[in-house]
Structure 1
C-alpha cells in the first residue's frame, strides 16, 4: 500500500530522519520549499461507487508524497482559512505548511506552495531527539498554534506571526498529572472550541490511551470559564487519534483500531455533545461514520472541521504514514449530511 514514487526509500528515509534529528542546528535551512506529488482517490469505496457513509458524504481525496524524506509522520492538521491554507505538525518535529489545491467543484486534488521547517525548542534550535520532537495534537487559538507532545509530555504555544517556523515554545500548564500519561499514548488531541459555544473558545485535550481506574480516557479543559479534568468513555478496541469542534460546539473524536493482519485497520468518528463537556464529567457520544479497509483509508491521525462556500460543514482527515513503505500520506474530505449538521 506504499505510495507510488516512494518505493525503495524507506531505509534511506529512516536513516536521514535519525541523522537530521541528531544534528540539531543542521536542520535549519534557508529554503523550506517542499515539492509534493498527489494521486487522486478515484473511488473511495473499493466495492461500489457510493458517497454516503453514516452521516458523511465523501467529496474527494488524494494520496501524496515527496522526494524529501523528512515529510512523514503528519499527526495534526489545521486549516488557517476556509479550506485552503493549512498548518500541520509531524511527530518527527516539523511544521508543514501549504495550500490544498481544489478543482472547479471544490474537491481537493493536491497540495501547493508546501513548506517544511523544524519545530524549534526553547533555545531556538530544532529538537535533538525524537522523544523531544514528538508533536501529536495541535489547535489554532487566535494567533497561536498550541501543540501537545508525547514521550516528554508537555503543551506549548507557538506564535503564528510573523512566522511559526521561527517561533520558540511558550510552555503551558499540563492539565493532567504526568503520572497518568502513558509514554507513547499521551495527549493526542488538542482542539479549540468555537467562541460562541458552551466552552466559549476554551482549549480541550484528550488522551490517546491514558486511562483511569475505570478504563476511561483522561481529558481536560485547559482554560476558559471552567478549566479542569473530565473523562471520555473508551471502547476497548479503539484509541483517540485527534479531535475537532463543529461550529455549534460539539466535539468530534477521530478514533482508530488495529487488529493485526486479520482484523485490519478501522477508523471511526464519534460525536460528543459540547454542552456536556465540563470538569468531572464522563462524556460519550454516537459514532457518526466508520471505515475499514473496504475503503481507501490509511492511518488517519488528523481531523479538522470547516465551513465551505455553500455553508456546508466539511471534515478533512489526514493520515500519518509513519515513514513506512506500507503506508500512505492521505487527505480525505467529507461533507456532514444536512440532517446531521442541523442537530448541531
Structure 2
C-alpha cells in the first residue's frame, strides 16, 4: 500500500528517531558481535557530490581481489565502482559508470515495477535482478540492455507487496536462488525458489530463527550458500549472517557466522562473499539508507572462518 506524502514524512521521522536512538545507545555501550566472524572495518560512504538518486543500496557483487564492486539500489540504478583499500580497511569508493535499468520494452522502470532488491552476476557479466513491487526476476545481458523477464510462477504473485523477492544468488551451475522477505503463509519456513533455466521450483525451505527476515544472499567461493537477515526495533537494526552446504537432500551444516546487536550497524541488506589475496574468506555488506538523512550508506567487512 502506498503512503501519502504526509504519511511518508511521518514514517521517515519515525525511522529516523529509531536510528538516532540506536546510534546514541551504540555510542554509549557498543555491543560485541556474536558468531565466529571477525569485524575488519566499516566505511561510511557519503553523498557529497553524488546525484540525487544516491543511496538505497540493497545488493552488491564484488570483483576479483575486492577492488571493484557492482551496486544496485532499490530505485533500479546500477553502479560500477572501484574500491580503494589500505590494508584490510576500505578507505574510498569511486563510481565508474551508472545505468538506470530498462523494462523489457526498453523503457525506464517506474512506479511498482521499480523496486529492485537482489543482484546476481555470472562470470560473463550477465546480470539477474529480483524485484519486490511486482515480484519477478529479470535477466540483463548487460547493464544497458532490455530486461528479459523470467516466467512468474503463481507463488510470486501471492507474495506480500514490499515484502517480496529481496535476496538473489547464483550457484556454479548457473541456477538462481531467490528468497522473499516474508512468506504469505504465517508460520511457514523461509521459502527458497530456484530457477534451473527452464522452470521455477521450491526445492527446500530454510529454518527461521527468531524475528530475522531474509534480505540478501550469495554463494561464496567455497560453494556454500550465505543468507543475510535483518531485524528492526525502536533501537535500530540488527543483522545476522548464516550459511549452509546445499545438497540433493537439502541444506546441511547450518552455521551462524555473525549476529549483531541493535544499532551496531545500519540497515545491512546486501552481501558478497569473496577471497582476498591471502586466500582468506571475507564478506562485504552494504546498508540501505532508505534515502533517510538519519541513516547512512555503510560498507562493513568481516573475516569469515573456512
Number of the residue aligned with 2:68: 85
User: Which secondary structure does the structure 2 equivalent of 1:248 belong to?
Assistant: coil
Structure 1 Cα separation of the partners of residues 156 and 177 of structure 2: 17
Q: In structure 1, the residue corresponding to 2:102 is in which secondary structure?
A: coil
Q: Which shows bigger deviation, 224-233 or 266-275?
A: 224-233
Q: CA RMSD in A?
A: 2.8
Structure 2: 5+ residue stretches without partners = 1-7, 13-25
TM-aligned CA distance change 1:141 to 1:332, over 3 Å: same
Gaps of 5+ in 1: 1-9, 15-43
Of structures 1 and 2, the one with the larger relative CO (CA 8 A, separation 6+) is: 2
Q: In structure 2, how many angstroms separate the alpha carbons of the residues matched to 1:181 and 1:226?
A: 18
1:153-232 correspondence runs (5 A) = 153-160=135-142, 164=143, 166-174=144-152, 177-193=155-171, 195=172, 200-212=173-185, 214-223=187-196, 228-229=201-202, 230-232=204-206
1:233/1:283 contact within 8 Å kept: no
Task: Judging by fraction of residues, say which structure has more strand.
Answer: 2
Structure 2 CA distance for aligned equivalents of residues 245 and 232 of structure 1:
15
- Would the alpha carbon gap of residues 273 and 212 (structure 1) be closer, same or farther in structure 2, given more than 3 Å must change? farther
Q: After the TM superposition, which residues 102-121 of structure 1 pair with which residues of structure 2 at under 5 Å, given as runs?
A: 102-103=85-86, 105-121=87-103
| 2:238 paired with 1:255 | no
Q: How many residues are matched?
A: 280
Matched, 1:123 2:105: yes
Contact 1:232 1:283 in 2 (8 A): no
- Identify which of 272, 289, 295 aligns with 1:327: 295
The structure-2 alpha-carbon separation of the partners of 1:267 and 1:213, relative to structure 1 and needing over 3 Å to count, comes to closer
CA contact (8 A) 1:240 1:255 kept: yes
Aligned in 2, Cα 1:283/1:126: closer, same or farther, shift over 3 Å? farther
TM-score under structure 2 normalisation? 0.82
Check conservation: 2:31, 2:261, Cα contact below 8 A: no
Give 1:143-154 correspondences, 5 Å limit: 143-154=125-136
Displacement of 1:173? 2.3
Deviation per residue, 1:81-119 (Å, 9 max, x gap) = 33111111111121111011111x142111014433211
C-alpha deviation, 1:49, in angstroms: 11
Alpha-carbon separation, structure 1, partners of 2:154 and 2:83: 35
Q: Deviations over 1:214-268 (max 9, x none)?
A: 4212211211699620222223411101011122322111011112x2x532111
Moved more, 244-253 or 323-332: 244-253
Q: Is the 8 A contact 1:254 1:269 kept in 2?
A: yes
Matched, 1:98 2:81: yes
Conserved 8 A contact 2:76-2:114 = yes
Question: C-alpha separation between the residues in 1 aligned to 2:59 and 2:301?
Answer: 15
Cα distance in structure 1, aligned partners of 2:152 and 2:225? 21
Question: Given that residues 268 and 290 in structure 1 are in contact (C-alpha distance below 8 angstroms), is that contact kept between their aligned partners in structure 2?
Answer: yes
Asked if 1 retains the 8 angstrom alpha-carbon contact of 2:66 and 2:83, the reply is yes
Q: 1:163-190: per-residue Cα shift (whole Å, max 9, x none)?
A: x1x2111111235623431111111111
